[in-house]
Structure 1
Amino acid sequence: MTNDTDGAPMKRGRRAEPITRRTAKNGTAAYTFQLDIGVRPDGSRERQRFTFPTLAQARREYRRISTDVAAGTFVKRNPTTVAEFLIAWLDGRRDIRPNTLAGYRNHLKPVIEHLGEMTLQRLRTADVDALVTLRLEGKPVAQRDKRGRRAAEVLAFLRSQPDGAQFADIYAVLGNSGIKALDRLVASGEALRPARGRYVASQPADPQRPKIPGGVTARTVVSMLVIFSAALDDAMRQGLVTRNVARMVKRPAIKHHEMATWTPEQATQFRDHVRDDRLAACWLLTLAGLRRSEILGLRWSDVDFDSDTVSVAQGRVVVPGVGTVTGDPKSKRSRRALPMPMEILTALRKFRVQQASERLSFGSAYHESGLVAVNEDGSPIRPETYSAEFALRSKSAGVPAIRLHDVRHTAATMLLDAGTTAIATAKWLGHDPAITLRVYGHVYDDALAAAGDALLGRTRATELR
């Protein structure tokens, strides 16, 4: 048996839960308990008080919270907002290339603008789903405040009191239902009790969500959700949230668009057209499936004429707001040494001789960079310039206009169509083999059918019919 704050005897539950009944001057009862929720950096224990309007709710939450604490899954109340967390998360991403990080920032910008002022722990699946609808359709979704009308009134009253509101004042204005709503707000962290009998709102006002552009593609929205989910996974690992609400949002279906490629005849037509071009060696490397960033980052030291190989060791990319930067290749698989056909090696030798002549012509004004893809004065070719020059060469060659990156698709298609295995094709392109099969599986279907014929004798089965 224990006594409550009024001196009245109170029976403990079967598990002797340390729940205390507190009665205010107006007769309203509340049930509280304290738990050790962790250890502070200085080694001292960290305790937190929890308050609930009913004994049943207090018992239920005591068992849940104590179980979570014992399992190491309890999440402490934390005022970090969505914007604060995402900005810190982006600033800490040192494991990705600058242009990839710029893409992350661009995809998370709508999340920060629309949901940034919300506390991370208050974020719900419905909030993210509403953002998805806004991005796709360009119009917000009206959402009912799940806190309830009375809770909204309590928050408005607390915000109207700069120094906080007294318990008695809240009861006088909003009655017993207001006190119950206050208890719920305290339990959720939306209201705080800085001193005995005094309460304040944890946030000055509900976030004012600015308008963001809508009508974007499903692919853009999916990219936003993928990156946001990755960030929330880290938030879970840091113990800031208990679940990843972005993973619970249904992602819009992405319409499949057939990639544009050249036929082998068109690729040969382009190759013949640029054979005498100053950048012929670079165009041949493009036809061989190298990325633009890999060609523009290629150094003469990466070309080994003795072993007839070209090594991909760095890339040059455009980073919005920064300019062209040189860094590591796109991925670990992108770093590779490729045995080059004699036609490409011959073109590279010719280009090196031509650059030596240009170096003598420009003298001290020549830019020494050690790169293969340079202008006549030795200055590095800018990525956008390389793409523009490719478009001009394609038009003058009389071949269909496709993106520079689509030439890489052309190379992959030709490799698979010629019978090269998916693994070998992936290694040549610097791809994951699974991605190669998924993207170019339609080309590989014929090879699979041939394998089935060899195993099961499809020709003989046809004759038997």
Structure 2
Amino acid sequence: MTNTDEAGAKRPRRAEPISKHIARNGAVSYRFQVDVGIRPDGTRDRQRFTFPTLAEARREYRRITTEVAAGAFVRRDSTTVAEYLSRWLDSRRDVRPNTLTGYRHSLKPVIEALGGIGLQHVRTADIDALVTVRLSGTPIRQRDKRGRRAAEVLIFLRERAEGAQYNEILAALGEPGIKSLDRLVASGGVVRIGRGRYVAVEPRDPQRPRVPGSVSPRTVVTMLVVLSSALDDAMREGLVSRNVARMVKRPTVEHHEMRSWTPEQASQFRHHVRDDRLNACWLLTLAGLRRSEILGLRWSDVDFDAGTVSVAQGRVVVEGRGTVTGDPKSKRSRRALPMPVDVLTALRTFRLRQAQERLAIGSQYPDTGLVAVNAAGSPIRPETYSSQFAQHAKDAGVPFIRLHDVRHTAATMLLDSGTTPSATAKWLGHDPAITLRVYGHVYDDALAAAGDALMGRSRITGEQKR
């Protein structure tokens, strides 16, 4: 098919809308425009693309139009890594404050090392280099991550005190140089001083912040997990086409066997605290409840008639905010547990004691409604509860373990007694898959017995069954 010009002459129809442009200095480039989507106001979002050669322009035109048609095209965006991650952290209203604090701590080295790079220009190699730095023994100064092309643009501009025109940069460095120029303008490394004229800006502070090293592989893996989650959201927002953090090989995390008490040691601790004022709380700890769940437990959550204790909130320490009361750790953490008689008896005794303390203090006694309060009625602080536990363990003559490790003790005892993994997980407020993965060692003997049973042998007697 052909088109007719004003003179009536026929000319072949151009297959691709790519135009040739010749600058005043003779530099040749090839341009095209593509509608890449619709803006929020309903107008077309048309972008112009420029390339130094016709072959590259044709190749990119086909790629871009194909991605636009498939809904996979990523619009050019000048958002930096620091800007996006800061915005992502501020938007995480779906996690507990303590969890959000952990996210900020994990992403801090990413922002320090890669924050000035455009989000769309971060490479797997950049993140891999950061992993190497974090694992190395000596802290090093942050490297300039703007890349070789950006360095070429800066050198080109610094050689010209009066700056350089857009067409000069395009002619000397091509389209890759123009892309780097755009990133440098967005990050403040280059300033546009006039129509199409740019100058380099010398950094005010040549000393770059340090990125600490000698951290554990587990810390690095946590950093990569949080970063991957943030980049997954960036993909869903259409800001990046792929998640480069998921392509980084994660360091191997050394497995450490968890520490726990034997049933005899747990019984020894229980006997030691039987006359302690917080005996009911220690029994709840031995029952596998988290510290935050015990400290957030209210008397209204204890149903003596039904014999249950409901986990409905938690109290945790949040950096910069102190102790905060909020939702439990997860949806599975919300649960109603039928408590043994001795736990319910200890709770009744504790409630009676608190009533006596309230009468002694009078109107000055705070009405918190919490179970875990001191003799003056004030909520017990998390660090105080942990330190008292450590002292009781020492006085009881049992091995020292973390307060959280008592949950491992409870889980092991439940599984060892024949409780199903699903029931154990529900009691602890866990995912059943996590329970099996973490506490699978409890089943070693049971699995060995199962194997013998298949061969018709009794593991107890070792004799062949007849």
With over 3 angstroms needed to count, the CA separation of the structure-2 counterparts of 1:464 and 1:271, relative to structure 1, is closer
Q: How does 1:83-122 map to 2 (within 5 A)?
A: 83-122=82-121
Contact 1:115 1:209 in 2 (8 A): no
Paired position in structure 2 for 1:198: 196
> Do 2:81 and 2:119's aligned partners in 1 also have CA atoms closer than 8 Å?
yes
In the alignment, which of 154, 157, 178 is matched to residue 186 of structure 1? Answer: 178
The 2-side partners of 1:118 and 1:147 are apart by 9
The AA in structure 2 aligned to 1:114 is A
Give 1:164 deviation, angstroms.
5.5
Q: How far apart are residue 121 of structure 1 and its match?
A: 1.0
How far apart, in 1, do the equivalents of 2:417 and 2:339 lie? 17
Q: Which amino acid aligns with 1:119?
A: G
Work out the CA distance in 2 between the residues paired with 1:349 and 1:144.
64
Task: Classify the secondary structure of the residue corresponding to 2:211.
Answer: coil
Q: What's 2:379 paired with? A: 380
User: Partner residue of 2:464?
Assistant: 463
Distance 1:405 1:287 in 2: 10
Answer yes or no: is the 8 Å Cα contact 2:300–2:369 preserved in 1.
yes
The answer for the alignment partner of 1:175 in structure 2 is none
Alpha-carbon distance in 1 for matches of 2:371, 2:142? 57
Identity %, equivalent residues: 67
- Cα distance between partner residues in 1 of 2:64 and 2:105: 38
What residue ranges of structure 2 are gaps of 5+ in the alignment? 5-9, 186-190
Contact 1:185 1:191 in 2 (8 A): no
CA apart distance, 1:24 = 2.2
CA contact (8 A) 1:129 1:249 kept: yes
Q: C-alpha separation between the residues in 1 aligned to 2:79 and 2:339?
A: 53
- The answer to whether the Cα contact below 8 Å between 2:34 and 2:48 also exists between their aligned partners in 1 is yes
In structure 1, C-alpha distance between the alignment counterparts of 2:175 and 2:263, rounded to whole Å: 72
Q: For residue 190 of structure 1, what is the amino acid of its counterpart? A: R
CA distance in 2, matches of 1:21, 1:162: 31
SS of equivalent to 1:62: helix
Aligned to 1:246: 245
The one-letter amino acid paired with 1:283 is W
Structure 1: distance between partners of 2:154 and 2:76: 18
Counterpart residue type for residue 212 of structure 1: V
CA distance in 2, matches of 1:257, 1:334: 25
- The aligned residue for residue 325 of structure 1 is 324
In structure 2, the partner of 1:131 is: 130
Cα offsets for 1:258-279 (capped at 9, x unmatched): 1111111110000000001100
Matched-pair contact (CA < 8 Å) for 1:191–1:199: no
Query: SS of 1:360's equivalent?
Result: helix
Of 412-421 and 287-296, deviating more is 412-421
State the distance in 1 between where 2:445 and 2:429 align: 23
**Equivalents in 2 of 1:321, 1:448: separation in Å?**
48
Task: Find the residue that maps to 2:442 and give its secondary structure.
Answer: helix
Check 1:22–1:11 CA distance in 2 against 1; reply closer, same or farther (3 A cut).
farther
Report if the CA contact (8 A) 1:182-1:191 is conserved: no
Distance across 2 between alignment mates of 1:67 and 1:105: 38
Per-residue Cα deviation, 1:270-289 (whole angstroms, up to 9, x for no partner)? 00000011000000000000
Alignment of 1:374-413 (within 5 A): 374-413=373-412
Aligned positions of 1:15-30 closer than 5 A: 16-30=15-29
- Structure 2 Cα separation of the partners of residues 409 and 214 of structure 1: 32
- Partner Cα distance (1:60, 1:331) in 2: 49
Which residue of the partner structure matches residue 174 of structure 1? none
1:200 positional shift? 3.8
Q: SS of the residue aligned with 1:463? A: coil
Q: Distance in 1 between matches of 2:159 and 2:61?
A: 33
Q: Write the distance in 1 (CA, Å) between the matches of 2:160 and 2:347.
A: 76
Q: Point out the more displaced range, 370-379 or 198-207.
A: 198-207
CA shift in 2, pair 1:382/1:148, >3 Å: closer
| Superposition deviation, residue 453 in structure 1 | 4.6
In 2 relative to 1, CA 163–227 (structure 1 residues): closer, same or farther, beyond 3 Å?
farther
Cα distance, 1:40 vs. partner?
Answer: 1.3
Query: Residues 131 and 140 of structure 1 are in contact (CA less than 8 Å); yes or no, is this contact kept in structure 2?
Result: no
Deviation at 1:19, TM superposition (A): 0.7
**Per-residue deviation at 1:182?**
3.7
Q: Return closer, same or farther for 1:164/1:69 CA change in 2, 3 Å cut-off.
A: farther
Other-structure match for 1:223: 222
Deviation for aligned residue 1:76: 1.2
Query: Kindly tell me: are residues 164 and 76 of structure 1, through their superposed partners in 2, closer, same or farther at Cα, counting changes over 3 Å?
Result: farther
- d(CA) in 2 for partners of 1:225, 1:29: 44
**Cα distance in 1 for residues equivalent to 2:277 and 2:146:** 67
Unaligned 5+ runs, structure 1: 4-8, 172-177
TM-score, normalised to structure 1's length?
Answer: 0.89
Q: 1:143-222 counterparts in 2 under 5 A?
A: 148=148, 152-158=151-157, 165-167=164-166, 170=168, 179-187=171-179, 189-190=182-183, 198-200=196-198, 209-222=208-221
1:6 corresponding residue in structure 2:
none
Mapped contact 1:270–1:397 kept (Cα < 8 A): yes
Aligned 8 A contact 1:373 1:380 in 2? yes
Structure 1 residues 336 and 32, CA gap change in structure 2 (3 angstroms): same
Mapped contact 1:318–1:325 kept (Cα < 8 A)? yes
Cα displacement (A) at 1:161: 7.0
What amino acid is the match of 1:343? D
Runs of 4+ in structure 1 off by over 6 angstroms are: 9-13, 141-146, 159-163, 191-197, 201-208
Distance 1:240 1:202 in 2: 27
- CA displacement 1:126-149 (0-9 Å, x = unmatched): 111111111111355998989547
In the alignment, which residue of structure 1 is the partner of 2:7?
Answer: none
> Which residue of the partner structure matches residue 273 of structure 2?
274
* 3-state SS, counterpart of residue 215 of structure 2: coil
Query: Offset at 1:115?
Result: 1.1
Deviations, residues 63-114 of structure 1 (Å, cap 9, x unaligned):
0000111111111111111111111111111111111111111111111111
**What SS does the corresponding residue of 2:445 show, helix, strand or coil?**
helix
Q: Equivalent residue for 1:342?
A: 341
Secondary structure, counterpart of 2:374 in structure 1 = coil
Instruction: Output the CA distance in 2 between the equivalents of 1:34 and 1:222.
Output: 42
Amino acid at match of 1:322: R
CA distance in 1, matches of 2:295, 2:249: 40
Q: Is the 8 Å Cα contact of residues 36 and 46 (structure 2) preserved in structure 1? A: yes
CA 1:100–1:26 in 2, change beyond 3 Å: closer, same or farther? same
Code of the residue aligned with 1:416 in structure 2: it is L
Q: Identify which range, 76-85 or 131-140, moves more after superposition.
A: 131-140
Q: Which amino acid aligns with 2:196?
A: R
Q: What SS is found at the alignment partner of 2:77?
A: coil
1:386 aligns to what SS in structure 2?
A: helix
Query: What secondary structure, in the 3-state scheme, does the structure 1 residue paired with 2:332 have?
Result: coil
